[in-house]
Structure 1
C-alpha cells in the first residue's frame, strides 16, 4: 500500500516540486495539497493522509498552529520544511514541540551533496514516518503537563503520534532496575530523526548535580544547533551548550555537537577536552557523526562511558558503539515502541552491542540510577 501524502505550502511552485518528487517513488502518492494551515486541517480530516509535509510560514494559519490543531483532532505524522536561519530553527523546534516528527530545510539541497541525493533524502524521510504511522500510530490520549514538572512517557503498546514531551504520561520508576555499580566518567547520547524531542525528554529530568559531562550528537543543520542548545539550557537543571573547540569537559554540562562539524574527545585521565572542526570529507555522511564522537570517547575514556543510541534513520552510531563496547563501556538503545524511527537503535541492537533496549520514558531515570545520582 502506497504512503498517502498531503503537501502543504503557500507556494504553488514548491507544492508542485515536492509533489513531483514524492510521486516519483511508486511507494508514495500525493493525495492532496493545501496552501495554508486552515486548508491543511480540513484536508487532513477529509483525506486521512498517512503523512503531511508542512511549511512553517503561511497565510491564514501558520504551520505551527496547524500542527497543534491537527494533533488535537486528527493526529498525523508531519514533516516540516524550514528556512536555515535562527528564526527558522526556533520555529522548527516549536513545531517539533507541537507534535511534528521531523524536518528538512526548505532548500533541502543545502544538506545534500547533489539534487539526486536531496530527492532521495526527502523520499526516505516521508516514507519512514509514513510507514511508522501505518503500522503502529494511534490517537494520543490527552495530558495536562506543567512547565515546572517534566513528564515522562509510559511504556504503552501504541505510542502517541506526536511524540511531544507534553503528551508523555507520568510513569513510576521501574522497581526491577538496579544500577550495575560500574564507574563512569562520561555519558554520550547519539540520535537523529525524533531526537530533539527525545533529548528534551531525557535532559529535563536529569538533576543539577549530575556527576559527569554529557556529549550530545544530534543530526541537525548548523543553523539549528545554537537555537536547540539554548532551548535545552533554558529548560534543564543541568547546563547545556553548543560545543566549542577546546571546551574542557565538566561534570553536569551537556555539550551539543555543532551542525555541519565533527566533535571529538581528546586527552586522557582528568584533562579531556573537545576538538570541534569542519569536516569536508565526502566519505562522511553525517556531520556531526555519532560514530566519530563515540570512537573518540572510546580512545579517551576506555571503559568509562555510558552510551545511549536513540531514535533515528540509518546506522550511525553502530561502529562507534562497537569500539566503546570493545573498550569495556556500556551501550543502551531506545526500544522500538518509543522510537519515531527505529533505524539507529536497531542497528546497535542487531549487532549485539546494546546491553538493554529501553523505553524513552525510562532513559533518564536509568541513566541517573546507573551513574549514582538517581
Structure 2
C-alpha cells in the first residue's frame, strides 16, 4: 500500500481499535499500529512516524489529552480526536485542540460505538484531510487563543468612529478552525462594533460550547444562534450544528436570522455558503467575508456572492492553514481581496472597514 496515508489508531477498547482499523483499511488508509492507552500511543508514534493518529479521549492511566501533549512535544503529528457526542465531550475536545490536535470526529453512540461503521466514509475523508495538515510550525491548530489583555491587534486609540458603521463580518471555518476562530474573534476590538456571524463545521453538541469559548475569549457578546435571533453591533452568533443560519432581514442596525433544516451543502449543515449568500442578498451595509482553514469548498461561492455585492473577502493563507481546501477554492474563484496568515486576519478585517479619514 505504498504511498497511502499511514495511521496509528488509539483506543482503550479492543473492539473499537479493530473496528476503526478495519474502516480505515477499507478506505485505503494503512494502519501501521494500534495502541490501548496514551503511553502506548506515544511509543507507536515515535516508532512508526505515522501521517496521522486517531486518538480516543477517555483512557486509563495516560489519557488522550496527555498523549496529545506528549506527541506534540516529541514528534508533532496530525491528530484526529474521537470524541463522545456530548457537551462534556465537547469541553475535553476543545482542550485537545488547544494542545495541538487538528480536528475531531464524534462517535455516534458513546465511547464503544457499534454505530461507527455507518460513518466509515466520513471518517476516512476526515482522517485523510487531517493527515495533510501542517503541524510543524505551531501556527495553525494548537495555538491557544489570546488573553483579553493581549488579544487586540488594533491600535489602542481606536474608537467606533474609526470604522464604517454597521459592518458585518461573516467567518467560515472547518478542519483546524476552532482555535483560529478564537484568535480572530478575540483580536477584534469591541469599539469596531461589528456584527459577527461564525459558521464553523461542528456537530450540535459542540457549537454551544464553542460559542461560550468565543464569548470568554473576546470583547464581543457571543452566543449560539436560535431561530429568529437578532443581533446588533458588538454581538456575535455561532451557527448551531445541524442547521443552516440564514440572514432573513436587516434594519435599524440589527440583523434578523432564521434557522433551517434545508439539505446540507457540500455535505455539511451549517454551510457557510448559505449564510454568506443570504447576507449578500439582504445586507446593504459593509460586509466582510472571511474564509479560514478547512477541507472542501464551503465558503467559496458565498465569498463570491459577498464580493459581487461590494463586500471585502479575506482568505487564510496556505502556510498558516491546517487544511488549505476552503481558502484555496475561494481564491481560485477570484473573489478574494486579501490572502493573509491567521495572525494578520484581524487587522485585515479592521483595514477593510476602517474609514479613510484623510481621503
Aligned to 1:315: 297
Aligned to 1:11: 13
Number of equivalent positions: 340
Q: CA deviation at 1:7?
A: 0.2
CA 1:285 to 1:266, structure 2 compared with 1: closer, same or farther past 3 Å? same
CA 1:130 to 1:58, structure 2 compared with 1: closer, same or farther past 3 Å? same
> Which SS does the other structure have where 2:204 is aligned?
coil
Aligned to 1:195: 177
Q: CA deviation at 1:117?
A: 7.3
Gaps of 5+ in 2: 155-162
Aligned to 2:224: 242
Aligned to 1:160: 138
CA 1:321 to 1:314, structure 2 compared with 1: closer, same or farther past 3 Å? same
Q: Does 1:366 align with 2:344?
A: no
Aligned to 2:261: 279
Q: CA deviation at 1:245?
A: 2.0
CA 1:162 to 1:266, structure 2 compared with 1: closer, same or farther past 3 Å? closer
Tell me, yes or no, if the aligned pair for 1:210 and 1:238 is still in contact at 8 Å. no
1:198-223, Cα deviation, whole Å (9 max, x unpaired)? 10111121223232210100010000
CA 1:172 to 1:371, structure 2 compared with 1: closer, same or farther past 3 Å? closer
Among 335, 338, 347, the alignment partner of 2:329 is 347
Gaps of 5+ in 1: 139-158, 175-180
Q: CA deviation at 1:172?
A: 12
Q: CA deviation at 1:161?
A: 7.5
Tell me, yes or no, if the aligned pair for 2:315 and 2:338 is still in contact at 8 Å. yes
Tell me, yes or no, if the aligned pair for 2:57 and 2:63 is still in contact at 8 Å. yes
Q: TM-score, normalised by structure 1?
A: 0.84
Equivalent-residue separation in structure 2 for 1:336 and 1:281 (angstroms): 30
Which consecutive segments of 4 or more residues in structure 1 shift more than 3 A?
Answer: 114-117, 170-174, 181-184, 271-274
Aligned to 2:160: none
Tell me, yes or no, if the aligned pair for 1:239 and 1:253 is still in contact at 8 Å. yes
Tell me, yes or no, if the aligned pair for 1:71 and 1:162 is still in contact at 8 Å. no
Q: How does 1:105-144 map to 2 (within 5 A)?
A: 105-107=106-108, 118-133=119-134, 137-138=135-136
Q: CA deviation at 1:274?
A: 3.3
Equivalent-residue separation in structure 2 for 1:200 and 1:108 (angstroms): 29
Q: CA deviation at 1:282?
A: 6.0
Aligned to 1:257: 239
Q: CA deviation at 1:369?
A: 3.3
Q: How does 1:26-65 map to 2 (within 5 A)?
A: 26=28, 28-65=29-66
Equivalent-residue separation in structure 2 for 1:326 and 1:106 (angstroms): 40
> Which SS does the other structure have where 1:61 is aligned?
coil
CA 1:73 to 1:162, structure 2 compared with 1: closer, same or farther past 3 Å? farther
Q: Does 1:329 align with 2:331?
A: no
1:330-352, Cα deviation, whole Å (9 max, x unpaired)? 11111111111111111110010
> Which SS does the other structure have where 1:233 is aligned?
helix
Aligned to 1:290: 272
Aligned to 2:97: 96
1:139-192, Cα deviation, whole Å (9 max, x unpaired)? xxxxxxxxxxxxxxxxxxxx3277222499x99979xxxxxx877621111111
Q: TM-score, normalised by structure 2?
A: 0.87
CA 1:67 to 1:248, structure 2 compared with 1: closer, same or farther past 3 Å? same
CA 1:24 to 1:284, structure 2 compared with 1: closer, same or farther past 3 Å? closer
Q: Does 1:357 align with 2:339?
A: yes
> Which SS does the other structure have where 1:223 is aligned?
helix
